[in-house]
Amino acid sequence: MAELKKANSVGEWFDQRLQTTTLTKVLMTEYWIPKRINFLWSFGMVLATLFTVLVITGIFLMMYYKPDTQLAFYSVNYTIMHEVAFGWLIRHMHAVAATLIFLFIYIHMFTGLYYGSFKSGRELIWLSGVLLFVTFCAAGFSGYMLPWGQMSYWAAAVITNLFGEIPIIGPELVIWIRGDYVVGDATLTRFFMLHVFLLPVVIMLILGLHFYALRTPHVNTEEGEDCDFEAEARKYQAGDKKNSKVMPFWPKFMAEDIFVMCVVMTLFFFLVFYGYHFALDPVNAIPADPMVTPQFIYPEWYFLWSYEVLRGFFFSSDLGLIAFGIANVVFFLFPWLDRDPKVLPMHKRPYMKYWFWALMITLVGLTIYGKLPATGPNAWVGLVLSVSFLLLVLVLMPLLSSMERKKREREAA
Amino acid sequence: MKELKILAILAAFTAVLYWGVETYAHKVFYPPVAPADFTFADLHPEAQTASEVDRERREVLAMIEQGDPAAGRIAVETNCAACHTISADGIEMMSDEQLIAANGLLPPDLSNISSLYDEVFLMAFLKDPAEASFITSHTMHQREALAEAKAKSPEDSERLINDHVRTVDGFNNRVAGFFNKMPGYAWLGDEELANMLAYFRTIAKPINEITPREITMNACARCHSVDYDNMALKADMDALEDYLGVRPPDLSTMILSHGGGYLTTFINDPQKHLLGTAMPRVGLNEAAQDRVVAYLEEVGDPNIEERNRLGIWFVGYFLLLTVLAYLWKKSEFKEIGK
């Protein structure tokens, strides 16, 4: 170890031992972000903020929650909501953040899709992101079971039952997941463990990978243009800040992020106090009763589109299950289903721009019909939407993108 | 400008999603029903219009007005006191426990019934409890529902009618036992019944002096508990299940699971939302029923006041922070020309 000089300040003391100055440069002041971006680029930090809110409120809820079928409903609906000082506030924050985080995950994902930030070197950002989405889904599902209301119980019963359709191992798998022949105390306790320990830890690990995966390919821009980050950074550091195409993460990029975060938190707290009903399903205010099936059973809104793909093939549960399986993994394949390596935003792509909006409308349609009873004409609408979804992602995405590539190559030649 | 366009697109998609999975889905799950009817118009099948109902109601009320309370008291002591207490007048032949043991549930105390229940309803109820409580299949609403189903889908109507008859029949069988507990008193004659109701008027406290908790206890507690307010069920649950075919739910979180609007129409006429339900119509008047709903809200959702008071500070704080963050962003972006 080199000889240590006496430190003149606390900052220097830490710098000698942890190289905090270099670390700050690498992570913040000399981490370069392109300027040609819009507020959608701030949604990553918005998601990190909401995840933090979930972790903190979750810790407080855990102080009173009891993962036991006899006690769970009471501990949530009476102890936390009535007896604990501001318990209702903590629970509302947790529920609203859990719902909003899925809205923003979808926006964040489709931003990446729209601007082409999921391919040509950025595959790992996309893949780790989709993995985060899947893990968040598992966290949402396991968390929804914990209050042990009617919808907790029946959604858990219906969804875990799906695994029973898997060939050969299905029936055994369902019992293994539930820890019992039916959804019961063993199921509740293990989902509690998943929700408060395993899944949050996994999310944090993948989050680290997700951030790290950004560093080498760099953040994409609004126009998908190539940019020599090193040259532009030199230009910025030389003082030509106006003409450089990049800016440092801190304080410039974060100035925008913090503004967007404040807007989101204003909306968030407005919903927590005055519009939380969408995040707390009324049916779940009825204690779980295995003897009484609710008239309508539906998953939380963020699962509805894939649930509708499952139900869409109403004449064959096998086909539905296959389609459901595809819907759940197809996002992982997007970097390879897009056959055009050139990074361009959708509005600059002659065919894919229609594809993108068709996909958005199909997903919204699936979500809305996923909640309605699948009877009469609804079943047929569901079938059309499910087939459209599969056609869009499995056939039209590779087809249209390779047509675009050939068109561009023709025009260049 | 471009950012505003993006924001508008996000807002539009979010709004359509919200409308679809909340507003629209809710309407499909819980189709709107006619508003609560506190004139209990169906008790006057002859009356065609609201004014005719009103005239008939006034006739009944006039009869009660002219009734003889002293004669009424004697009739009540003879006919009611074996199963009901009237604590306001010192008529308590058995304790609550004894009454529950004898009846399976606690018949309500009659002290304040003329303040809590619609008197015209009470008159009809005394004559034929099952009919007035909508416990029989011969009710206006069920006939209406059937007619509606027929009009909507003629080819399906046969199946619907069969389903319907099955539920209602099974239900009537179950309920027959229940309403044996409260026999009809039509044989006493209108005049004697009016005397009894005139007597109840003389002993009832005005509604403002009765707490919402007491009203709920009188109207609901013989089938429902309210755990979160330590209101015990005034019945033997197993006996209740025998009578009704179901175990009536605890009411603590009803306001959260069903909402005040639903409860208002549901308590007024349970068959409107749940055709064939075992829950009888109890005939609370509007003021009393509003107090029951308010009580359930107080018990199930006690933080409304705190929520409204605190919310402004949280939202205001972040609004202020948003303004400051915007100014900071502006100043940071100035030197880089963004």
Q: Convert the pLDDT of each residue in B162-209 to its tens digit.
A: 444 444 444 444 444 444 578 889 999 999 999 999 999 999 999 999
Tally Cβ neighbours within 10 Å of residue B2.
Answer: 8
Instruction: Find the CB nearest A262 among B17, B24, B318.
Output: B318
Chain B residue with minimal CA distance to A261?
B322
Say if CB A277 and CB A99 are below 8 A apart.
no
Same domain, B72 and B14: no
User: Is the Cβ pair A367, B252 closer than 8 Å?
Assistant: no
Instruction: Find the CB nearest A273 among B311, B319, B336.
Output: B311
Same domain, B254 and B321: no
Domain assignment of residue A327, given as a range? 298-413
How far does the CA of residue B26 sit from the closest CA of chain A (Å)? 9
Q: What is the CATH number of the domain that holds A124?
A: 1.20.810.10
Same domain, A266 and A353: no
Cα three-residue angle B199-B106-B252, rounded to 5 degrees:
110
Tally Cβ neighbours within 10 Å of residue A4.
Answer: 9
Mean pLDDT of B285-307: 96
Instruction: Find the CB nearest A259 among B18, B306, B326.
Output: B326
Same domain, A287 and A312: no
Same domain, B214 and B265: yes
Same domain, B104 and B23: no
In a domain, A315, yes or no: yes
Residue B157 scores a pLDDT above 70: no
In a domain, A4, yes or no: no
Q: Which of B270, B283, B132 is nearest to B219 (CA)?
A: B283
In a domain, A3, yes or no: no
How far does the CA of residue A252 sit from the closest CA of chain B (Å)? 6
Chain A residue with minimal CA distance to B316?
A266
User: Is the Cβ pair A282, B257 closer than 8 Å?
Assistant: yes
Calculated CA dihedral for residues A379, A383, A384, A386, nearest 10 degrees: 130
Same domain, A255 and A176: yes
Q: What is the CATH number of the domain that holds A371?
A: 1.10.287
- By residue count, chain A amounts to 413
Same domain, B199 and B308: no
CB pairs under 8 A between A and B: 128
- Express each pLDDT in A93-114 by its tens digit: 999 999 999 999 999 999 999 9
User: Is the Cβ pair B7, A39 closer than 8 Å?
Assistant: yes
Which of A240, A271, A291 delimits the end of a domain? A291
Tally Cβ neighbours within 10 Å of residue B160.
Answer: 16
Chain A residue with minimal CA distance to B6?
A40
Residue B137 scores a pLDDT above 70: no
Mean pLDDT of B270-283: 83
Q: How many domains does chain B have?
A: 3
Same domain, A33 and A145: yes
Q: How confident is the model at residue B274 (pLDDT cuts 50, 70, 90)?
A: confident
How far does the CA of residue B197 sit from the closest CA of chain A (Å)? 39
Which of A271, A291, A311 delimits the end of a domain? A291
Query: Looking at beta carbons, which residues of chain A come within 8 Å of B307?
Result: 88, 273-274
Same domain, B21 and B36: no
Which of A250, A274, A291 delimits the end of a domain? A291
User: Is the Cβ pair B13, A360 closer than 8 Å?
Assistant: yes
Instruction: Find the CB nearest A258 among B13, B315, B325.
Output: B325
- Express each pLDDT in A249-276 by its tens digit: 999 999 999 999 999 999 999 999 999 9
Same domain, A148 and A280: yes
Same domain, A272 and A318: no
Same domain, B201 and B142: yes
Query: Looking at beta carbons, which residues of chain A come within 8 Å of B253?
Result: 77, 285-287
Specify the pLDDT at position B155.
54
Instruction: Find the CB nearest A301 among B21, B250, B332.
Output: B21
How far does the CA of residue A324 sit from the closest CA of chain B (Å)? 20
Domain assignment of residue B4, given as a range? 1-31
Place of tokens 């990029």: A253
Query: Looking at beta carbons, which residues of chain A come within 8 Å of B16?
Result: 364, 368
Q: Which of B276, B65, B283 is nearest to B174 (CA)?
A: B276
How far is the C-alpha of B86 from the C-alpha of B285, rounded, in Å? 20
Determine the residue among A41, A245, A265, A381 to mutate to test chain B binding: the one whose Cβ has the most chain B Cβ atoms within 10 Å: A265
Chain B residue with minimal CA distance to A149?
B257
Same domain, B202 and B223: yes
What is the phi/psi pair of residue A276, to 5°?
-85, -5
Residue A19 scores a pLDDT above 90: yes
Same domain, A226 and A334: no
In a domain, A348, yes or no: yes
Same domain, B330 and B249: no
User: Is the Cβ pair B336, A252 closer than 8 Å?
Assistant: yes
Same domain, A212 and A106: yes
Q: How many domains does chain A have?
A: 2
- Express each pLDDT in A332-381 by its tens digit: 999 999 999 999 999 999 999 999 999 999 999 999 999 999 988 999 99
Chain B residue with minimal CA distance to A372?
B25
Same domain, A285 and A305: no
Same domain, A275 and A340: no
How far is the C-alpha of B333 from the C-alpha of B327, rounded, in Å? 10
Same domain, B260 and B183: yes
Same domain, B51 and B24: no
Instruction: Find the CB nearest A252 among B22, B256, B332.
Output: B332
Q: Tell me, what DSSP letter sits at residue A299?
A: -
Same domain, A269 and A357: no
User: Is the Cβ pair A265, B318 closer than 8 Å?
Assistant: yes
Same domain, B21 and B157: no
Does residue B30 sit in helix, strand or coil?
coil
Same domain, A226 and A374: no
Specify the pLDDT at position A391.
98
Chain A residue with minimal CA distance to B332?
A252
Determine the residue among B3, B7, B17, B155 to mutate to test chain A binding: the one whose Cβ has the most chain A Cβ atoms within 10 Å: B17
What share of chain A has pLDDT > 90, as a percent? 92
User: Is the Cβ pair B336, A247 closer than 8 Å?
Assistant: yes
- Express each pLDDT in A51-102 by its tens digit: 999 999 999 999 999 999 999 999 999 999 999 999 999 999 999 999 999 9
User: Is the Cβ pair B310, A89 closer than 8 Å?
Assistant: yes
In a domain, A8, yes or no: no
* Complex ipTM value: 0.95
